[in-house]
Amino acid sequence: MLGPVASLGHNLLNGTANVPLIKPGTLYAERLYQVDFRASKSIKMPRGRVQVNIDLYNAFNASSILAITNTYGALWLRPTQILQGRLLKFGGQIDF
């Protein structure tokens, strides 16, 4: 007679098994809403050009869920990653 490991190919004595409860591709999180703005000014210089940029990411500070826990248990459907808060970025470019 074969033991549980030999006949099934894995050990059932530890009492855990991964079982998909929801068909893949059927459960989706809310839609992502993010608004970004950019203001840019180009200034001509005698020997080139200077461009100044100001970027505002996630202007309305949305907190959309990007990833959730798909494993059934105490943490099932708990968000694991959310959209980053507002971010203000300054930048520039010099062409000569």
CA distance linking residue 6 with residue 13, whole number of Å = 13
Domain boundaries, the chain: 33-96
In the chain, the percentage of residues whose pLDDT exceeds 90 is 43
In the chain, the percentage of residues whose pLDDT exceeds 70 is 79
CA distance linking residue 21 with residue 82, whole number of Å = 24
What pTM, to 2 d.p., does this model score? Answer: 0.61
pLDDT at 67: 86
Q: What is the pLDDT of residues 59-91, one digit of tens each?
A: 999 888 888 887 778 888 889 999 899 999 999
Q: What is the pLDDT of residues 29-41, one digit of tens each?
A: 788 889 999 999 9
